[in-house]
Each structure stands twice: as C-alpha cells, then as structure tokens.
C-alpha cells in the first residue's frame, strides 16, 4: 500500500509546513518504542497537517483587509494627536473590551515591574533559548542564561532584575524553572525543519502610521507555501482557559495576514499547567471578526483617552487587582457579592 499523500510526501513525513501528522497504522504491529510522551504526541497530532489539509487563500485578501481596516479606522486616526500613534496590542484590546474603568486606570498608571510580570518575561526568554539551544539543556540552566541575558540587555526589565535580592531572585528563578520544565515535558523537541520561531514579533502600520497593530507570538512553527497556509501560531499560558486567549491569537492571525498575505493555518493556545491544547483553524470569517474587534477596541480607546468619554464599568474578576477597586462602588459591590457567594 502506497502511504504517500496527494502531493507526493509520505504520510506523516515532515515538510517545512510544520510538524508531521502521524500516519494511521495499516496493520497491527508491535508498538515502536515511544519517542514522545503522550502529552507530546498529542501536541504533534494537533499541530501537524498533511499538505492537502492546508487551505489556500485569495491573493487579494491582504489588500482587502488593509483597505477595509483603514477605512473603518479613519475616524480613529483623525482623533489621534499629531505626532502620536495609537498602539493597539492584545492588552489594550482585552482591557478595553473588558472594563473601560480598568483600562483608564491602567492607562494612567506608570508601568512598574512586579514578580508576576518579571516571571513571565524570564520564562519566555528561557523557552526562547531552549528552541535553539543544542543538546538537552536543563530548565535551571536556561533560566540562569535567560536572566543573565535580560540583565545584560537593553530592556527595561534589566534594572528590575539586577536589583533583586537573593531571596527574590531565587523565588523568581524557581517559578520560571517550573514553567520551562512544563514546556519541555509537554512539547516535543522542535526540529529545525519545522521552522520553529520563538517570540515572533508582528506589526502592521495603518492609516499613515497613526494606528499601529503590534504583537508577539510565543512560538510559531511551519510557514506558508505560496498561497497555501502552513504556519501555526502558539501561545503558552499558565492557569486555565479564558476567551481572551482565543481573541489574542485571532488578533495575531490578522496582523500576520496583513504582513505576508497568507493567514496562519492554525491558532493554538497551550495550557502548561493542565497539559491541554485549544486550537482553531483560521478562516476568512475568523479574520473578519478580528477586524471588528480591533475597530471597536481602537474606537473605544480613543474616545476614552482623547474625547473624555465616561467609561462603561463591567465588573468581574479583574476588580480584584484593579487600581481603582477602593474607590469604585460598582467594583466594591461585585467583590462583596463574590465574597458572599464564595463564603469568604
């Protein structure tokens, strides 16, 4: 029986479109020694696609999306003061589509590093190193190197990390090691032919640079082949599912399409604590929904920041850490009701 796919690749054979999908066994044979643990095998099975499973997109899509976005964002761009740009990223979109009071509160606050934000940056740096590191590095070595590189770099985090006491540093190190170890346990070793790219930056300048869409994907594998989609965008998360995670990746898919004209094939959020992957295929309808979310979010942000519109308060879990929680009656009522419900 010929095991080749319709474009001549052996079933399960890796191409530069990402990891291979395992071929179905044709007859009962003893299982070969497993190269991957079950979690890794699941990731491989979910991310891989055979060439005929990769959709082809219209070459006009990129220009149509850009024209549509620029038309819809023209009013937003006009309200951005001269010499400035509205930077639209996943944080702006998730906050402004959540509670607008929280959006304004965070917008007014000067950014300060915290153990939580630093832990995320350090573990992402270590995972980034792990993708290109030769051999089998330990999570501890990767985190050590990640911290050293961040301290020696130009990022704003350098001063924060450099100023940590030994105890704070040890705690941060331990938490980052946990994340990196989970990544190594759950993800199959990434082969160079899958073209893995960690921390991939995306950007699209619109409306004469008045509106900038920007983002950074934790990991990508594969690439487009002509008009055929092949890239997979992967975000790594701790904790559990939140709808905003899916929206983040849809936003990245939109920027990627504006960038190269071919959308990614698949969006995948990987939950490290639970060893669980949520994925969805990219379609033109998905990109259209991402456009609407960007347009609505940018319009809301500009009207709050520059027109003085009163924020719409939408209480929820973020009230727990909102800078305005002590002065916000709506947030206080929500937190009291939550405490009563949970028996705090």
Residues forming the site for ligand SF4 (CB under 6 A): 99, 101-102, 313, 315, 318-319, 322, 324-325, 328, 330-331
Q: How many angstroms separate the CA atoms of 92 and 88, rounded?
A: 6
Q: Which is nearer to ligand SF4, 8 or 111 (CB)?
A: 111
CB-CB neighbours of 296 under 10 Å: 14
Least distance in Å: CB of 322 to ligand SF4?
3
Q: Which is nearer to ligand SF4, 300 or 319 (CB)?
A: 319
Q: Which is nearer to ligand SF4, 276 or 314 (CB)?
A: 314
Nearest to 199 by CA among 115, 263, 125: 125
Least distance in Å: CB of 334 to ligand SF4?
6
Q: Which is nearer to ligand SF4, 75 or 311 (CB)?
A: 311
57's tokens: 């997109």
Asked if residue 22 lies in contact with residue 68, where contact means CB atoms within 8 angstroms, the answer is no
Give the count of alpha carbons within 13 A of 53, CB side only.
18
CA distances from 96 to 113, 254, 299 (A): 21, 19, 10
For strand 232-237 and strand 266-271, is the pairing parallel, antiparallel, or unpaired? parallel
Nearest to 103 by CA among 243, 337, 299, 242: 299
Give the contacts of 1 (CB within 8 A, at least 6 positions apart). 26
Least distance in Å: CB of 338 to ligand SF4?
11
Least distance in Å: CB of 101 to ligand SF4?
3
Least distance in Å: CB of 250 to ligand SF4?
23
Q: Which is nearer to ligand SF4, 232 or 322 (CB)?
A: 322
Q: How many angstroms separate the CA atoms of 128 and 218, rounded?
A: 8
Q: How many angstroms separate the CA atoms of 210 and 80, rounded?
A: 7
Q: Which is nearer to ligand SF4, 124 or 325 (CB)?
A: 325
Least distance in Å: CB of 340 to ligand SF4?
17
Residue nearest to ligand SF4 (CB): 331
């Amino acid at each position: 029986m010929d095991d080749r796919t319709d474009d001549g690749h052996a079933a399960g054979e890796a191409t530069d479109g990402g990891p291979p999908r395992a071929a179905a066994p044709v007859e009962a044979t003893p299982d070969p020694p497993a190269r991957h643990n079950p979690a890794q095998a699941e990731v491989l099975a979910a991310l891989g696609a055979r060439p005929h499973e990769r959709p082809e997109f219209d070459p006009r899509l990129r220009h149509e999306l850009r024209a549509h976005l620029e038309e819809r964002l023209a009013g937003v761009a006009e309200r951005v003061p001269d010499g400035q740009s509205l930077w639209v990223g996943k944080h702006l979109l998730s906050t402004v589509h959540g509670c607008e009071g929280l959006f304004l509160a965070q917008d007014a606050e000067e950014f300060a590093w915290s153990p939580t934000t630093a832990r995320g940056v350090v573990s992402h740096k270590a995972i980034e190193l792990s993708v290109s590191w030769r051999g089998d590095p330990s999570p501890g070595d990767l985190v050590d190197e990640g911290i050293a590189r961040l301290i020696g770099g130009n990022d704003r985090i350098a001063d924060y990390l450099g100023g940590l006491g030994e105890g704070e540093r040890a705690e941060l190190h331990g938490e980052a090691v946990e994340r990196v170890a989970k990544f190594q346990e759950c993800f199959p070793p990434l082969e160079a032919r899958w073209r893995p790219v960690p921390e991939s930056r995306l950007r699209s300048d619109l409306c004469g640079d008045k509106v900038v869409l920007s983002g950074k994907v934790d990991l990508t594998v594969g690439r487009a082949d002509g008009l055929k989609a092949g890239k997979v965008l992967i975000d790594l998360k701790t904790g559990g599912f939140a709808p905003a995670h899916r929206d983040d990746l849809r936003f990245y898919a939109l920027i990627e399409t504006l960038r190269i004209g071919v959308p990614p094939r698949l969006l995948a959020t990987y939950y490290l604590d639970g060893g669980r992957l949520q994925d969805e295929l990219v379609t033109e309808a998905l990109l259209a929904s991402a456009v609407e979310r960007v347009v609505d979010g940018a319009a809301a942000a500009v009207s709050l920041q520059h027109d003085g519109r009163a924020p719409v308060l939408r209480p929820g879990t973020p009230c727990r850490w909102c800078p305005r929680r002590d002065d916000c009656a709506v947030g206080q009522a929500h937190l009291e009701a939550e405490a009563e419900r949970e028996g705090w």
